[in-house]
A and B are shown apart, each in its own frame.
Chain A
Amino acid sequence: MNWWQRLSRRNKLEEQLERELRFHLDQHAADLIANGYHPAEAHRQARLALGGKEQVKEDCRDARGTRWLEDLWQDFRYAVRTLRQRPGFTAVGALTLALGIGASTAIFSAVNPILFEPLPYPHAGRIMMIWDTYEGVRCDVTFHTYRELAARSRSFEAMAVMEVWRPAMTGAAQPERFDGQSVSASYFRVLGVAPALGRDFQQADDRFEGPHVTILSDALWRRRFDGDSGIVGRQITLDGDLYTVIGVMPPGFDNVLAPSAELWAPLQYDAGNIADQESAEWGHHLHMVGRLRPGVGIDQARRELNAIALAPVPESPRPPWAALKYGLIVNSLQGEITRFIKPVLLAFLGAVTLVLLIASVNVTNLLLARGAQRSGEFAMRAALGAGRARLIRQMLTESLLLAALGGALGMVVTEFGTGALVTLSPTGLPRAGAIAVNGAVFAFAFGITAFAGLLVGLVPAWHAARVDLVTGIQQGSRRTAGGRQLVRRALVVSEVALAIVLLVSAGLLFRSLERLFAVPPGFDTSHLLTMQTQYSGHRYDDGNARRRFLTQALEAVRPVPGVAAAAFTSLLPLSGDQYGVYGTRFEDGRSYDTFRYASTPGYCQTMGIPLRRGRLLDQHDTAGAPRAVMISESLARRQFPGKDPVGQRLHLGPLNGPWYTIVGVVDDVKQGSLADRQGDGAYITPAQSWFADDAMSLVIRTHGDAAALAPAIKKAIWSVDKDLPIVRVATMGALLATSESQRRFAMIVFEAFALVALVLAATGIYGVLSGNVTERTREIGVRSALGASRGDILTLVVRQGMQLTGLGVAIGLIGAAAASRALITLLFGVSPLDPVTYFGVVTLAAAVSALACWVPAWRAARVDPSVTLRAE
């Protein structure tokens, strides 16, 4: 029989015990009667010999070994009864804890897969990411750098490089462009994942001018090919070429390096052109990963690669920009993909801990208030023989049960909160697909519920157990020990302080976002529609065909009703485009990293980028004309301080290219984000570019609603080429919001937490004051009988509340000043000690707590002295 059976069959055991003892007594009595005793005397003797049947029974129950469980069961039933007797108290307590537990669990559900769980690959901790650096700035590696490292390094069992590949599939109703990756042969081996169907890439696939082969994601395979298992070996047309499908990845494959990638092809760079320094193989545009050999530590790998970097060998000659003399960066893949989101998530964890603490403090206060009312009950139970430990256990059972209710309700909050987090999450959040309410999340919720239950129960339990029998019973529930009041006040002070920390954090983030959106992006973002076109197929192998398309497309788009102006650009501000940075070198040899905009004439007019000097590029800047370039103002100021840059010359991109003459200077444009400080740009026409871009963004200035025009514009473009994929259709307003989504995400979450904290702190103040007023009714009655006016009483109570608030605010401000340092990477344009924020938060907290004080104070002022004094 295990303990559960013993417990569940308790009634049967009791009955058997009774029968056993009865048998004993009867038998003993029968023997005595046989020896000549009178029956009544015989039964008395038998009972005496056994020594108190109930006592024996109790000892037998103890011997059963389930005593603690039976007590627990009793405590539990008692707790259920007490909580049911006070549904209001129970509801408020459980809801408060539900907020704290639910919010914590929701944040955990997001943080756990991103920061704590290993990536979903075998021995994921051994996967590293490798970066080149140039003058301390990290950059992608070149193909030949990768080849050299792969050949010389011994720390890695496999290394791979990859870049973005965006092939288009034409012929269907609408042309479609996919996100994909060009990868070296061992990419999937580095991750440790093999295709579910077909085969992985092999070295023979990844050679210059090698076979056109591709591996599909499970999602693409199901979406476009109906999950046909005969797909392997079939050919599909991508960018006008036939590709043989050689494999399909497994359904659960989470490609953290490019989550949106749906298909892969071998990189097929030319390993033999190491001497040609102008080749793409020497360009910094490859991400690099590697899998460490078992037993090799990250430090060992770092040392080895940096030793290789500093020791060139003759068979691997390096150009100056890939000389590796500034060293290489080796970091874990998980660390790399969470590099930007980690501070945000850690700040969330900190914030939600504060919310949970505030919620717990609030419930502790509620329980203390309950305890004050129940001191008579506790005194009675103690007098009837309940031990102190038993009383504490009883109280803890109650608080744990309350927490369990809160935890169950909290799972609703979690479900909702996790959904909201996923919806709000910034674009490019790593492992967003793994955020879910799963087993780990339930386990966390369970643990934190137990923790909260003990946390909120300890102080009240200790107070309850300290009850003084005599005064407790005599005075009933009217008065409380002064110590309890002191504890409750201290708790309110801490609650206010914690809320202040959250409010200041939320305020700083709010101010940052306000400041950020006040930053001029350098162009007019309203009424601007954007989309990207992608040249697809061999028709566009010729640069002239590409340029011809641009002209024809603009001719088709401009007459569409509602279009004010339109232009193409190779690089679209705030679109998240990462590529497009080239070296600009002036005649004096100084060079800068600049954004290269190959844009059709009329681009600056369409975008509303103001001209500062000279002229804009126009239709005369054709292929045959002298090469003309516009530069951004910051670049002009830096290179030509106090001088007119117009007429000066520069090289853009390859050094052996032609010179461009500066014809104009335009305003700086924020390319990546409004927070960017660096905005050097150079503008040329596509006709005068040394290469024709594969993808061009179309910008359209509209008269009315920009988004509504999208279908008409697409139709106009497809009238020129029906097979041209059009992707990323978005208004500039939407792009702007997306570019700041991480900060906005942080702000919304913090604001939600701060709001909850403020409400909880206010209810905390209210609760303590109104409890205090109830307990001091007599004193207040005496005061007003002695002539205190209603105003005096009001002031008395409000002053007491505001003292608590003031102390809490003071402590909270110190805490906030310390905590806001953790937010520094998320702030923009405001100091962590921003006086406006601090002042605003203090005002808000004072106003809310004044409100919370007012209600009990008003009640106190209405105390009728004759009633209270008579009642005593």
Chain B
Amino acid sequence: MIAKPDLPQGTLDLLILKVVALGPIHGYAIAQRLQQVSRDVVQVPQGSLYPALHRLENRSLLAADWKDTETGREAKFYRLTRKGRAQLEAEAASWQRLTEAVGLILKLSAGGAQ
């Protein structure tokens, strides 16, 4: 079994915002989606998912409504606020820059060793 890497600090919020940006979604589905999309690489610790959701809701990046699911049960659906969308764009861009920079550095050091 391949060891799953830990989620880098602060990226959970970004991932949640991205998933929620696709449309209103409840907590359990967010966990499922994150796992499926990342092909099981990203294993979200479910225990920290809900505090993160509540924190984002508290910061008005997410809003929530109670709605019925397709199975007819009532669940708390999260959606992105305008503020959340702006935050997502800003964070995604900065993540992009960071990964590119890290990638460049890694290539450079690989070239240096040869």
Query: B47: which A residues are within 8 A, CB to CB?
Result: 50-52, 55-56, 59
Q: Which residues of B contact A19 (CB under 8 A)?
A: 74, 76
Please tell me if the beta carbons of B50 and A60 are within 8 angstroms of each other in the complex. yes
Closest to A30 in B: B71
A64 is contacted by which of B28, B54, B73 (Cβ under 8 Å)? B54
What chain B residues lie within 8 Å of A60 (beta carbons)?
Answer: 50-51, 54
Q: In the complex, which residues of chain B have a beta carbon less than 8 angstroms from the beta carbon of A50?
A: 46-47
Binds B, one of A20-28, A77-85, A677-685: A20-28
Q: Known A-B contacts: A20-B27, A28-B28. Give 18 more (CB < 8 A).
A: A23-B26, A23-B74, A24-B50, A26-B73, A27-B28, A49-B46, A55-B47, A56-B47, A56-B51, A59-B48, A59-B50, A59-B51, A60-B50, A60-B51, A60-B54, A63-B51, A63-B52, A63-B58
Of B45, B52, B54, B55, which one neighbours A51 at CB under 8 angstroms? B45
Interface residues of A in 46-97 (CB under 8 A from B): 49-52, 55-56, 59-60, 62-65
Q: Is A260 interfacial (CB-CB < 8 Å)?
A: no
User: Which residues does chain A contribute within 8 Å of B73, judged by CB atoms?
Assistant: 23, 26
For residue B58, give the distance in angstroms from its CB to the closest CB of chain A: 5
B27 & A24 in contact (Cβ 8 Å cutoff)? yes
Q: Is A526's beta carbon under 8 Å from chain B?
A: no
CA distance A28 to B29 in the complex (A): 10
Please indicate which of the listed interface residues B26, B31, B46 has the most CB atoms of chain A within 10 Å of its own CB: B46
- Which residues of chain A come closer than 8 Å to B27, judged between CB atoms? 20, 23-24
Could you give, for residues 74-98 of chain B, a 1 whenever the CB lies within 8 Å of some chain A CB and a 0 otherwise? 1110000000000000000000000
Name the residue of chain B whose CB is nearest to the CB of A51.
Answer: B47
| A202: B residues at CB distance < 8 A | none
Q: 1/0 per residue B32-64: CB within 8 Å of A?
A: 000000000000011110111011001000000
Which residues on A sit within 8 Å (CB–CB) of B52?
63
> A16 at interface (Cβ–Cβ under 8 A)?
yes
- CA distance in complex: A331, B20 (Å): 72
Complex: chain B residue closest to A23, CB-CB: B75
Whose C-beta in chain B lies nearest to the C-beta of A58? Answer: B51
- Complex Cα distance, B57 from A60, in Å, reads 11
Q: In the complex, how many angstroms separate the beta carbon of B34 from the nearest chain A beta carbon?
A: 13
| A735 CB to nearest B CB, Å | 73
- Inter-chain contact A21/B54, CB cutoff 8 Å: no
A contact set with B: CB distance below 8 Å? 16, 19-21, 23-24, 26-28, 49-52, 55-56, 59-60, 62-65
Interface pair A20/B76, CB less than 8 Å apart: yes
Q: Please measure, in the bound complex, the distance between the C-alpha atom of A49 and the C-alpha atom of B27, giving whole angstroms.
A: 14
Q: Is the CB of A63 within 8 A of B46?
A: no
Residues in A neighbouring B74, C-beta threshold 8 A: 19, 23
The 5 A-B pairs at the shortest CB distance, nearest first, are namely A51-B47, A59-B51, A63-B55, A63-B54, A27-B28
Q: Is the interface of B mostly helix, strand, loop or mixed?
A: helix
Nearest chain A CB to B94's CB is how many angstroms away?
A: 23
Chain A residues near B76 (CB-CB < 8 A)? 16, 19-20, 23
Minimum distance in angstroms from A134 CB to a CB of chain B: 75
Could you list 13 examples of A-B contacts with CB < 8 Å? A16-B66, A19-B76, A20-B50, A20-B75, A23-B26, A23-B28, A23-B74, A50-B46, A51-B46, A60-B51, A63-B51, A63-B55, A65-B58
- List the A residue with the shortest CB-CB distance to B26: A23
Bound Cα distance A55, B45 (Å): 13
Bound CA span A6–B101, Å: 42
Residue of A nearest to B32 (CB): A31
User: Given the complex, which residues of A lie within 8 Å of B46, measured CB to CB?
Assistant: 24, 49-51
Cβ A56 vs Cβ B50 within 8 A: yes
How many Å lie between the Cα of A23 and that of B51 in the bound state? 16
Shortest CB-to-CB span from B48 to chain A, Å, is 7
Within the complex, the shortest CB–CB distance from B12 to chain A, in Å, comes to: 12
A26 — which chain B residues lie within 8 A by C-beta?
Answer: 73
A64 to B27, CA, bound (A): 17
A28 to B50, CA, bound (A): 15
With CB as the reference atom, state the residue of chain B lying closest to A52: B47
Q: How far, in angstroms, from A234 to B109 measured CA to CA in the complex?
A: 103
Query: How near does chain B come to A774, taking the closest CB pair, in angstroms?
Result: 50
**Chain A residues, Cβ within 8 Å of B50:** 20-21, 24, 56, 59-60
**A64→B64 CA distance, assembly (Å):** 14
CB closest chain-A residue, reference B59:
A65
Tell me which of A16, A20, A59, A64 has the highest count of chain B C-beta atoms within 10 A of its own C-beta: A20
Contacts of A52 in B (CB 8 A): 47
Report Cα–Cα, A424/B58, bound state, in Å.
58
CA distance A59 to B51 in the complex (A): 6
User: Which of chain A's residues has its CB closest to B48's CB?
Assistant: A59
Contact between B58 and A64, CB atoms less than 8 A apart: yes
**What is the distance, in angstroms, from B31's C-beta to the closest C-beta of chain A?**
8
Q: A27 — which chain B residues lie within 8 A by C-beta?
A: 28, 75
Chain B residues lying within 8 Å of A55, measured Cβ to Cβ, are 47
Complex Cα distance, B35 from A709, in Å, reads 107
A28: nearest chain-B partner, CB-CB: B28
Chain B: which residue is nearest A6 at the CB level?
B58
For the complex, give the distance between the alpha carbons of A368 and B76 in Å: 51
Whole-angstrom CA separation of A63 from B66 in the bound complex = 20
Report B-chain residues with C-beta under 8 Å of the C-beta of A21.
50
Bound state CA distance, A51 and B44, in angstroms?
12
Find the A residue at minimum CB distance from B57. A63
Note all chain A residues with C-beta closer than 8 A to B26.
23
Q: For window 10-37 of chain B, which residues contact chain A by CB distance below 8 Å?
A: 26-28, 31
* A62-B51 contact in complex given A20-B27, A50-B46, A51-B46, C-beta closer than 8 Å: yes
Closest A residue to B66 using CB positions: A16
List chain B residues, Cβ under 8 A from A16: 66, 76
How many angstroms between the C-alpha atoms of A63 and B53 in the bound complex? 9
- Bound: A843/B75 CA distance, A: 80
CB < 8 Å neighbour of A24 from B28, B48, B58: B28
Contacts of A49 in B (CB 8 A): 46
Closest to B60 in A: A1
Q: Cα distance A27–B31 when bound, in Å?
A: 11
Complex: A477 Cα to B45 Cα, angstroms: 47
- A64 CB → nearest B CB, Å: 6
A51 and B45 CA atoms in complex are apart in Å by: 8
A28 to B27 alpha-carbon distance, docked (Å): 11
**A27 nearest in chain B by CB position:** B28
Closest to A59 in B: B51
The distance from the CB of A802 to the nearest CB of chain B, in whole angstroms, is 62
Say how far B53's CB is from chain A's closest CB, in angstroms.
Answer: 8
A57→B75 CA distance, assembly (Å): 17
Report the minimal beta-carbon distance from B68 to chain A, rounded to whole angstroms: 11
Give min CB distance, B44 to chain A, whole Å.
Answer: 10
Q: How far is the CA of A63 from the CA of B54 in the complex (A)?
A: 6
Taking the closest CB of chain A, its distance from the CB of B1, in whole angstroms, is: 17
A28 neighbours in B (Cβ, 8 Å): 28
Bound CA–CA A816/B48 (angstroms): 65
Q: Give the docked Cα–Cα distance between A471 and B76 (Å).
A: 50
Give Cα A51–Cα B113 distance, bound, in whole angstroms.
44
Chain A residues whose CB sits within 8 angstroms of the CB of B45 once the complex forms: 51
Residues of B within 8 A of A59 (CB): 47-48, 50-51
User: Which residue on chain A has the smallest CB distance to residue B75?
Assistant: A23
Quote the shortest CB–CB distance from A45 to chain B (angstroms): 11
Residue of chain B at shortest CB distance from A31: B32
List B contacts of A51 (CB < 8 A).
Answer: 45-47
Which residues of chain B are near A63, meaning CB under 8 Å?
51-52, 54-55, 58
Interchain nearest-CB distance for B20 vs A (Å): 15
Bound together, the chains give a CA A55 to CA B47 distance in angstroms of 8
Shortest Cβ gap from A5 to chain B (Å): 12
Cβ–Cβ < 8 Å partners of B58 in chain A: 63-65
What separation, in Å, do the CA atoms of A815 and B91 have in the docked complex?
A: 65
Rounded to whole angstroms, the CA-CA distance of A64 and B55 in the bound complex is 6
- Taking the closest CB of chain A, its distance from the CB of B47, in whole angstroms, is 4
Q: Report the minimum CB–CB distance from B111 to chain A (whole Å).
A: 43
For the complex, what is the distance from the CA of A55 to the CA of B48, rounded to whole Å? Answer: 10
B75 contact set on A, CB distance < 8 A: 20, 23, 27
Q: What is the distance, in angstroms, from A502's C-beta to the closest C-beta of chain B? A: 54
Chain B residues positioned under 8 Å from A62 (CB to CB): 51
- Which A residues lie within 8 Å of B51 (CB)? 56, 59-60, 62-63
